[in-house]
Structure 1
Amino acid sequence: MHTDAHGLPVTLASAEAACAFDAAIAAYMAYRQDTPAKLKAFLALDPGAPFAAILRGSFAMLTYNAGALPSARKSAALALAAGGTPRERAHAAALDAWTRDDSDQALAIWELILAEHPTDALAFRLHHFVAFWLGRGPQMAAAVERTAPHWGSDLAHWPSWLACRCFAFEEVGRYAEAETAGRQAVDLVPTDVWAAHGVAHVLEMQGRRSEGITWLAALEPNWEQANSIRHHLLWHRALFHFEHGDTAQVLGLYDRGFRDLASPLTEALPDMFVDVQNAASMLFRLGLQGVDVGNRWVELADKAEARIGDTQSAFTLPHWVMALGATGRFQQASRLLDAVAEGAQGTGTNARILARSGLPACRAALHHARGEHAEAVAAMRPALSTMGELGGSHAQQSVLELLFLDSAMKAGMAAEARALLERAAGRCPVPPERRAIYRHHAGQVAY
């Protein structure tokens, strides 16, 4: 028996394997490109360890790709069979639940682990990730609050915990506390991309666009070892430029930053769910501003067509529909909707979300692309109050609100447009008339 970086017992064959385990966890917590290599090194040293199967399966699930499910399920079975400490068995059970589309159960198990082992970095970070992609900001923040008395600067992953505190608190509107935690984490570890990301969200929500550009531009040299999260950070910078009306900068960041198809990193993950969301949502915003985006939609539509039938990432699905619709591939988009409807027939967490929110959002995206604006409003209206469960931050979710608002305005449905603007005004301290994505429509509707 050995211990991890936080002193928790781990069933491992050697001290060398323990070091390799810690290195894999550290790389994952830091969003580093070399995380797969660190995992591979750990697996080579102790392939039969309970955490070997747990990490392999968890990392497969993090991709939100149906192609990774068989591997994740195999790993879950191996983890369950491996036994180990009660904590390791609980991790195996959480992974098993996650692979069976029971994310609610997985979250509950991680919370039980944290109740007994509040400094379990893996349980904390996986809980943070899954809760976020279910749109559960309060659940993220609650995990931070419950574990706070047990975390401090003496722990190896303290900056990562601060980064999660930052983002969780931002998503529930506690902006001052969020910014303090994020800046503290970056002061400790300038390469902490999740902390940089959390502060960028605070600046976005508060309309501090010039600060946002300066913040991200100054930190960008620190991201050389980061994985595709750096694309998302560049998307955030593009959002700030978008709000300034600088579409040339936005397109430049698209081509040479967050959708840089010449980059080896992008080539390795051409249809990673967050990368797709970055690209499609920005092209959609630009299109509504009348900006000619050239043929940039085509490669996204090609990838969307290849992923028809994969419904693992509920929030990505309407972005795929946007790409197919923008390129006139309406038949393919209809097939994607059929696949979403099929996925919604299950009883798991994601299936329920697809039925309640994912399918309406996808239908609305297709109607909008066809110019059927009243139909788009009708399709999305029932899901407006639940769309957050698709996952994504407030900044990311705004593209779906914009789709609804644009459809309502073009359909002459002033009451529906007003309701959306009131919704946006209630959530964000920056009024819609000061936000580029809403400004044009806000000037035409009293709300």
Structure 2
Amino acid sequence: MYRTNWRSSDDWRAQGLSIKSSASDTAIKLYDAAVTQLIGWYDDPNLGGLSKTCDDMVKADPNFILGRSFSLGLELIGTTNSVRLDSNLKAQLDDLLRLTEKHRNQIEDRELKHVEAVHRFASGDWNGASNIWEEILVDYPTDIQALKFSHDALFYLGKSTQIRDSIARVLPVWDQSSLPLKSYIHGMYAFGLEETQFYDKAEREAKLALDANRNDAWATHALSHVLTMESRNDDGIQLMSSTTEDWEVCNFLACHNFWHWALFHIEKGEYEKAVQLFDSQIGRRAVENGAMLDIVDAASLLYRLDLIKPKQFTTAEHWDTVYSIIEPHLSDHIYGFNDAHFMMACLGSHHTKAAQQLVRSFDPSVSSDDWVRVTVPLLEAMIDFNDERYANAVDKLNKIRYDIIDIGGSDAQRDVFNQLLIVAALKSPKDSHKRLCQRLCAERRALNDSPFINTLLSVQ
């Protein structure tokens, strides 16, 4: 699974990606090692993991501008921290900007653009950052840093079509190459195809990636999405259970893949098995890793269980555990998708004052992107539902139901809000909302005639 040969400055130049911001082959090889771990979603034990690899890279050459743009971008793209909240992170960005300006005439334009993209992302302009990374890919289609960071930023912005097309534009170049990491591009493409409902093609691309590398956790993830959207729950459980050893080594994504596995069980009404996965994997990993993806997965799984089977399968201990790891982030407001999951934890653990403060403390100036305008009404609707003001919840959710995509995440992740609207409409005292519930169910059945719709309609 683990690579051992890393690209030198000459290797990068031969592949059309000259690096001029470092003369240290050690730093440049460590840059390759760091990028590889990010694309593969794993910590390489031979290098001490991704974080140590980045630290060693910067120590090898503190003036390595491209490497530092990667290291800083990696910190920001996780959405666990921001320059607004962390003065040390802000100082790192300011120092990188000064260093870049000083050496502007000595480095590649591509490297300058990477710094500008990270600066945009750090400033809350994620659309602007993605646009710059996409500009890089026009001239340098094999720039994996630009491809990965743009992929993630577009995911956060809910730009499903752009996620797909970003990969489609460069895929022919990768396919004609013999570059390291080549097979991962098919898994990335599979995810974009799935998010735009090209399920058959997405499945083919995911399997193509897995045929080349069975440890491609993102390709397994993309395939699990296809099976979820097509209600192939038995196939999904078989996939995840039979390949666990392949993707579990990818520690950055393992928790999320266990979450997908649990969703298959929820769809089948096997709630105890979903809880077992939470207890043995999802909750534990969220606590141990503190990664935002793991944290939101833990909150989402408990919330889904409570939505359809209120307090039958979750416990106060479950919710208190999740609340304990989101509490330090309640004032972050880095990303509306995160805030919505923080709200789940506040409500599930009965921290109602914290839930209200989460809404009151939201500052729309944190970002210029579209997720800002959707976040507050979504949070308010969740509070209304929790307080049994179901009609209010329906009115707020129904107004933004086609805009919730702007908070980012995947179709599978955002489906919890569709479920929330259906259950709220079912519980609302208004006859018009009862009729809306019927229409929403008809809409859902037209796309995915899963028995799970009957589960939603049986919620008391």
TM-score (norm 1): 0.91
Number of the residue aligned with 1:292? 313
Q: Is the 8 A contact 2:423 2:457 kept in 1?
A: no
**1:281 matched to 2:300:** yes
Partner of 2:27: 17
Aligned partner of 1:360 in structure 2 is 377
Q: 1:348 aligns with which of 342, 361, 368?
A: 368
Once the two structures are overlaid, the 10-residue window that deviates more, 64-73 or 206-215, is: 64-73
CA contact (8 A) 2:123 2:367 kept: no
Q: Gaps (5+ residues) in structure 1?
A: none
| Kept after mapping to 2: 8 A contact 1:322/1:369 | no
Distance 1:51 1:268, change over 3 A: farther
**Matches of 1:37 and 1:346, distance apart in 2:** 30
After TM superposition, give the deviation of residue 126 of structure 1 in Å.
0.6
After TM superposition, give the deviation of residue 354 of structure 1 in Å.
Answer: 2.0
Residue in structure 1 matched with residue 5 of structure 2 by the alignment: none
Pairwise mapping of residues 75-86 of structure 1 onto structure 2 (< 5 A)?
75-80=92-97, 81-82=99-100, 83=104, 84-86=107-109
CA deviations on 1:304-338 (whole Å, 9 max, x unpaired) are 33322111121121221122112222111100111
Quick one: distance in 2 between partners of 1:182 and 1:174?
Answer: 12
For 1:174, which of 198, 201, 204 is the aligned residue?
A: 198
Instruction: Provide the residue aligned with 2:437 in structure 1.
Output: 417
- Deviation of 1:288 after TM superposition, in Å, equals 2.8
> Is the contact between residue 315 and residue 392 of structure 1 (CA under 8 Å) also seen in structure 2?
yes
Aligned 8 A contact 1:408 1:417 in 2: yes
What is the aligned-residue RMSD (CA, Å)? 2.0
Residue number among 252, 255, 279 corresponding to 1:228 in the alignment: 252
Helix, strand or coil for the counterpart of 2:172?
helix
The alpha-carbon deviation at position 346 of structure 1 amounts to 5.1
Pick from 29, 32, 49 the counterpart of residue 39 of structure 2.
Answer: 29
Counterparts of 2:135 and 2:92, CA distance in 1: 21
* Alignment size in residue pairs: 429
Deviations 1:150-184 (A, max 9, x none): 11251212111111101010000111111111111
Q: Which residue of 1 aligns with 2:283?
A: 259
Q: Deviation of residue 268 (structure 1)?
A: 4.1
Equivalent in the alignment of 1:51: 66
CA distance in 1 between partners of 2:113 and 2:442 (Å): 44
Change (3 A) 1:346 1:217: closer
**How high is the sequence identity, in percent, across the aligned residues?**
24
Q: Secondary structure at 1:151's aligned position in 2?
A: helix
Partner of 2:414: 397
Q: What one-letter code is carried by the residue in structure 2 that aligns with 1:56?
A: S
Structure 2 Cα separation of the partners of residues 202 and 39 of structure 1: 34
1:100/1:348 contact within 8 Å kept: no
Match of 2:46 in 1: none
| Partner in structure 1 of residue 271 of structure 2 | 247
CA contact (8 A) 2:141 2:173 kept: yes
Could you report, residue by residue, the CA deviation over 1:391-410 in whole angstroms, capped at 9, with x for unpaired residues? 11111101111111111110
Indicate conservation of the 8 Å contact 1:27/1:38, yes or no: no
Map of 1:122-141 to 2, 5 A cutoff?
A: 122-141=145-164
Aligned positions of 1:70-109 closer than 5 A: 70=86, 71-80=88-97, 81-82=99-100, 83=104, 84-109=107-132
Structure-2 separation of matches of 1:105 and 1:72: 20
Q: Does 1:330 align with 2:352?
A: yes
Tell me how far 1:418 sits from its aligned partner.
3.4
Aligned pairs for 1:1-12 (under 5 A) are 2-4=10-12, 6-11=15-20, 12=22
User: CA–CA distance in 1 between the matches of 2:328 and 2:390?
Assistant: 27
CA distance in 1, matches of 2:77, 2:367: 21
> 1:250: how far off?
0.7
Cα distance change of structure 1 residues 425 and 94 upon mapping to structure 2, 3 Å threshold:
farther
Q: What runs of 5+ residues in structure 2 fail to find an aligned partner?
A: 1-8, 44-48
One of 193, 199, 211 as aligned partner of 1:187? 211
